[in-house]
Chain A
Amino acid sequence: MYRYILNRLLLSIPTLIGAAALVFILMRLIPGDICVVRLGSGGSINPTAVANCHAQLGLDRSLVLQFFDFIAGFARGDFGTSMWSGKPVSQEIATRIPVSLEIALLATLVAVLIAIPLGTISALHQNSWLDHIVRTVAIAGIATPSFWLGIMSILVVLEVSHLAFGAPWMPPIDYVSLWDDPLRNLSIVILPAITIGYRYSAVTMRMTRSAMLEVLREDYIRTARAKGLFEHIVVNRHALQNALLPVVTLIGIEFAFLIGGLVVTEQVFNLNGIGRLFVLAVQNQDYTLTQALVMLTVAIFVVTNLAVDVLYAWLDPRIRFG
Chain B
Amino acid sequence: MKNRTGWLAESLSIALSAALAAALTAAPASAENIKRGGILTYMIPADAPPSLDGHKENTYATLHATAPFYSTLIAINPDNPSSSTDFVCDLCTEMPKATDDGKTYTFKIRKGVKFHDGTPLTAADVATSWQYIVHPPKGVSSARESYMVMVDTVENPDPETVVFKLKFATSAFLPALADPFAYIYKKETLEKDPTWYEKNILGSGPFKFVTYETGQSIKGVRNPDYYHEGQPYLDGFTAIFAAKQSVRVDAIRADRAATEFRGMPPSARDELVKELGDKITVQTSDWNCVNLLTPNQKKKPFDDVRVRRAMALAIDPWKGAPALSKIATVHTVGGLVFPGSPLAATKEELQKIVGFGPDIEKSRAEAKKLLEEAGATGLKFELMNRNVDQPYKFVATWAIDEWSKIGLKVTQRVLPTGPFYDALRSGSFEVAVEFNCQNMVNPLLDVAKVLPRSVYPENYGGYEDPKLIEIYNSMLRETDPAKQRAKMREFETYALDTQVDTIMTPWWSRIITHRSYMKGWKISPSHYLNLNLANIWLDK
Indicate whether A and B are direct neighbours in the complex (CB within 8 Å): yes
Q: In the bound complex, what is the Cα–Cα distance between A95 and B48 (angstroms)?
A: 13
- List chain B residues, Cβ under 8 A from A37: 417-418, 421
The segment from A15-23, A45-53, A71-79 that touches chain B is A45-53
What's the interface size class on A, roughly? 35 or more
| Given A38-B50, A96-B215, A267:B421 Cβ within 8 A | no
Task: Tell whether, in the assembled complex, residue B418 and residue A269 are in contact, meaning their CB atoms are under 8 Å apart.
Answer: no
Task: Tell whether, in the assembled complex, residue A283 and residue B416 are in contact, meaning their CB atoms are under 8 Å apart.
Answer: yes
| Given A47-B457, A53-B141, A158-B250, A31:B419 Cβ within 8 A | yes
Q: In the bound complex, what is the Cα–Cα distance between A215 and B112 (angstroms)?
A: 84
Q: Is A154 an interface residue when CB atoms closer than 8 A count as contact?
A: yes
Task: Tell whether, in the assembled complex, residue B418 and residue A285 are in contact, meaning their CB atoms are under 8 Å apart.
Answer: yes
Nearest to B387 among chain A residues (CB) is A283
- List chain B residues, Cβ under 8 A from A277: 215
- List chain B residues, Cβ under 8 A from A267: 244
Q: Mark B429-442, 1 if CB is under 8 A from A, else 0.
A: 00000111111000
Task: Tell whether, in the assembled complex, residue B275 and residue A85 are in contact, meaning their CB atoms are under 8 Å apart.
Answer: no
Task: Tell whether, in the assembled complex, residue B238 and residue A174 are in contact, meaning their CB atoms are under 8 Å apart.
Answer: yes
Q: In the bound complex, what is the Cα–Cα distance between A37 and B251 (angstroms)?
A: 28
The segment from A103-111, A164-172, A195-203 that touches chain B is A164-172
Q: In the bound complex, what is the Cα–Cα distance between A285 and B492 (angstroms)?
A: 37
Task: Tell whether, in the assembled complex, residue A52 and residue B437 are in contact, meaning their CB atoms are under 8 Å apart.
Answer: no
A27: shortest Cβ distance to chain B, in Å? Answer: 10
Q: Is A270 an interface residue when CB atoms closer than 8 A count as contact?
A: yes
Task: Tell whether, in the assembled complex, residue B254 and residue A283 are in contact, meaning their CB atoms are under 8 Å apart.
Answer: no
Nearest to B458 among chain A residues (CB) is A44
What's the A-B contact tally at a CB cutoff of 8 Å? 148
Instruction: Please indicate which of the listed interface residues A44, A48, A269 has the most CB atoms of chain B within 10 Å of its own CB.
Output: A44
Q: Is B510 an interface residue when CB atoms closer than 8 A count as contact?
A: no
A94: shortest Cβ distance to chain B, in Å? Answer: 11
| Given A170-B251, A173-B247, A87:B419 Cβ within 8 A | no
Task: Tell whether, in the assembled complex, residue A49 and residue B51 are in contact, meaning their CB atoms are under 8 Å apart.
Answer: no
Q: Is A317 an interface residue when CB atoms closer than 8 A count as contact?
A: no
Task: Tell whether, in the assembled complex, residue A42 and residue B59 are in contact, meaning their CB atoms are under 8 Å apart.
Answer: yes
Q: Is B491 an interface residue when CB atoms closer than 8 A count as contact?
A: no
Q: In the bound complex, what is the Cα–Cα distance between A276 and B435 (angstroms)?
A: 27
The segment from B72-80, B142-150, B400-408 that touches chain A is B142-150
Q: In the bound complex, what is the Cα–Cα distance between A53 and B418 (angstroms)?
A: 14
| Given A39-B58, A40-B417, A48:B216 Cβ within 8 A | no
| Given A42-B58, A86-B51, A154-B246, A30:B419 Cβ within 8 A | yes
Q: Is B422 an interface residue when CB atoms closer than 8 A count as contact?
A: yes
- List chain A residues, Cβ under 8 A from B241: 272
Which residues in chain A, 2-35, are within 8 Å of chain B measured between CB atoms?
30-34
Q: In the bound complex, what is the Cα–Cα distance between A71 and B56 (angstroms)?
A: 31
B449: shortest Cβ distance to chain A, in Å? Answer: 8
Task: Tell whether, in the assembled complex, residue B146 and residue A46 are in contact, meaning their CB atoms are under 8 Å apart.
Answer: yes
Q: In the bound complex, what is the Cα–Cα distance between A30 and B417 (angstroms)?
A: 11
Q: Is B5 an interface residue when CB atoms closer than 8 A count as contact?
A: no
Q: Is A178 an interface residue when CB atoms closer than 8 A count as contact?
A: no
- List chain A residues, Cβ under 8 A from B238: 174
Besides A33-B418, A86-B198, A174-B216, 11 more A-B contacts (Cβ < 8 Å) are A30-B418, A36-B418, A36-B425, A38-B57, A41-B417, A42-B143, A43-B289, A167-B255, A173-B240, A173-B242, A276-B47
Please, could you name 18 A-B residue pairs with CB atoms under 8 Å apart, sorted by A?
A: A32-B419, A36-B425, A37-B421, A38-B50, A39-B58, A41-B59, A41-B417, A42-B58, A44-B449, A49-B143, A52-B139, A84-B48, A154-B250, A168-B253, A168-B254, A170-B250, A173-B242, A284-B50
Interface residues of B (CB under 8 A from A): 43, 47-48, 50-51, 56-61, 139-143, 145-146, 198-199, 213-217, 238, 240-244, 246-247, 250-251, 253-257, 275, 289, 416-423, 425-426, 434-439, 449, 457-458
